[in-house]
């Protein structure tokens, strides 16, 4: 099945990145947000990222206009009716996602339409079950910043059909030009199962006073060749997102390393969410 019309639910950090990736691949893309204000903010994020790409000579001004012209920002879920593929990138909250999959499963009009989630920890099988089209539901997990990171994790659930998986493999590789890996439907998949306990350990280390945030980060950048240290990366991903993923992973495995440390809870309660709120372990 050829995928030409894409829908993205949620225009936050990940949703706007996925929208940009889709529109830059030449696809007609609809983004659904909850309020007009959020839709405008999503448009601003995509525009700012495209302007950055234009200023670095990666795209021309004409490409920028054409890419934005392929995107519709709306608050109406019904605008997803004719989509071939929908990527849900709402907040990492199981109730919110279940409600969306239930609604969108009945809004999609094409039998072949594929409904995916960018979740990194919520069971895909549950999203499929409420959607009424479980064979066409799977996880498609992008990495932040989505326009830059090459990896996409593909997660078929127990009920996903081999045809759905094959369509997404070719979409990610041939249409988006990214590189997929396949993971099973367990909280964290491959990357977050390794990354999240590492980030939480760095936060615990900072909380316990081992070293300053800057020195913990310099340790991993200069000592291990990572592009950024764990606390700067936590700020980039969003502390609320890391906390939500840690909780889902802890609920599934009861592994103490996945449990968010008190400092992370306090920072999220205080609205210190990292780069997106202007303050986390660092000020932006
Ligand atoms: N959007 C679009 N492009 C961006 C970008 C953004 N937000 N941030 C950086 N870029 C581009 C730049 O335009 C630049 O492109 P160019 O070299 O072709 O001109 C390139 O990325 C490098 O950017 P910079 O020179 O400004 O900065 P750095 O060299 O420091 O790279 C980085 C920035 C790409 C973010 C790099 O530090 C990095 O790779 N960090 C690690 C990111 C990572 O680990 N992400 C995964 C997070 S886990 C996740 O998302 C899963 C979730 O479930 C938690």
Average pLDDT over residues 135-157: 97
Q: In this model, does residue 1 exceed pLDDT 80?
A: no
Confidence (pLDDT) at 6: 98
**Ligand 1 within 6 A of 48 CB?**
no
Mean pLDDT, the chain, rounded, equals 97
Task: Please tell me the distance between residue 129's alpha carbon and the centre of ligand 1 in angstroms.
Answer: 35
Residue 192 annotated to the active site: yes
Residue 153 annotated to the active site: yes
pLDDT band of 28, cuts 50, 70, 90: very high
Task: Please tell me the distance between residue 234's alpha carbon and the centre of ligand 1 in angstroms.
Answer: 13
Choose one of 57, 145, 151 to mutate for the ligand 1 pocket test, by most ligand atoms within 8 angstroms of C-beta: 145
- Which atom of ligand 1 lies nearest, measured to the CA of 143? 50
Q: Please say whether the beta carbons of 26 and 3 come within 8 A.
A: no
Task: Please tell me the distance between residue 166's alpha carbon and the centre of ligand 1 in angstroms.
Answer: 28
Tokens standing for residue 78: 């019904």
Instruction: Report the DSSP beta bridge partners of residue 274.
Output: 279
Structural domains of the chain, ranges and CATH numbers in brackets = 5-182 (3.40.50.720), 193-277 (1.10.1040.10)
**Per-residue pLDDT tens digits for 216-246:** 999 999 999 999 999 999 999 999 999 999 9
Is the backbone peptide bond immediately before 230 cis, with ω within 30 degrees of 0?
no
**Per-residue pLDDT tens digits for 157-190:** 999 999 999 999 999 999 999 999 999 999 999 9
Q: Please say whether the beta carbons of 200 and 246 come within 8 A.
A: yes
CA–CA distance, 87 with 31 (Å, rounded to integer): 10
Question: For the chain, how big is the Rg over CA atoms in Å?
Answer: 19
Tokens standing for residue 28: 């007609």
Counting residues of the chain whose pLDDT is more than 70, the rounded percentage is 100
Average pLDDT over residues 137-166: 97
196: phi > 0 → left, psi -120 to 50 → alpha, else beta; which? Answer: alpha
CA–CA distance, 70 with 20 (Å, rounded to integer): 10
Shortest-distance Cα residue to atom 49 of ligand 1: 143
**Ligand 1 within 6 A of 149 CB?**
yes
Average pLDDT over residues 20-49: 98
Average pLDDT over residues 109-134: 96
Task: Please tell me the distance between residue 271's alpha carbon and the centre of ligand 1 in angstroms.
Answer: 24
Tokens standing for residue 133: 């089209």
**Ligand 1 within 6 A of 232 CB?**
no
| Marked catalytic residue, from 121, 153, 157, 234 | 153
Residue 279 annotated to the active site: no
| Marked catalytic residue, from 16, 22, 118, 120 | 120
Name the residue among 61, 59, 73 with its Cα closest to residue 24: 59
**Per-residue pLDDT tens digits for 35-64:** 999 999 999 999 999 999 999 999 999 999
- 3-state SS, 110-175, equals CCCCEEEECCCCCCHHHHHHHHCCHHHEEEEEECCCCCCCCEEEEEECCCCCHHHHHHHHHHHHHH
Q: 199 φ, ψ to 5°?
A: -65, -45
CA–CA distance, 22 with 192 (Å, rounded to integer): 23
3-state SS assignment for residue 184: coil
Q: In this model, does residue 204 exceed pLDDT 80?
A: yes
Q: In this model, does residue 121 exceed pLDDT 90?
A: no
**Ligand 1 within 6 A of 50 CB?**
no
């Amino acid at each position: 099945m050829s995928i030409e019309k894409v829908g993205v639910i949620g225009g936050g950090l990940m949703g706007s990145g996925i929208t940009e990736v889709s529109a830059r691949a030449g696809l007609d893309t609809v983004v659904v947000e909850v309020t007009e204000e959020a839709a405008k903010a999503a448009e601003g994020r995509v525009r700012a990222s495209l302007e950055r790409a234009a200023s670095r000579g990666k795209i021309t001004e004409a490409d920028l206009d054409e890419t934005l012209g392929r995107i519709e920002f709306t608050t109406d879920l019904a605008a997803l009716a004719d989509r071939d593929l929908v990527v849900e990138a709402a907040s990492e909250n199981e109730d919110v996602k279940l409600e969306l999959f239930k609604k969108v499963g009945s809004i999609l009009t094409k039998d072949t339409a594929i409904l995916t989630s960018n979740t990194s920890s919520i069971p895909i099988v549950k999203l499929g079950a409420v959607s009424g089209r479980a064979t066409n539901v799977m996880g498609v997990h992008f990495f932040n910043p989505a326009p830059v990171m090459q990896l996409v994790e593909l997660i078929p659930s127990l009920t996903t059909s081999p045809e759905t998986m094959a369509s997404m493999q070719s979409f990610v590789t041939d249409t988006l030009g990214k590189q997929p890996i396949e993971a099973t439907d367990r909280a964290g998949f491959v990357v977050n199962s390794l990354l999240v306990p590492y980030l939480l350990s760095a936060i615990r280390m900072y909380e316990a006073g081992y070293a300053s945030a800057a020195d913990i980060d310099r340790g991993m950048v200069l000592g291990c060749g990572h592009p950024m240290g764990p606390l700067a990366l936590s700020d980039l991903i969003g502390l609320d997102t890391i906390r939500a993923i840690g909780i889902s992973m802890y609920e599934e495995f009861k592994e103490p390393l996945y449990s968010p440390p008190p400092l992370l809870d306090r920072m999220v309660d205080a609205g210190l969410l990292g780069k997106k709120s202007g303050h986390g372990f660092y000020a932006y």
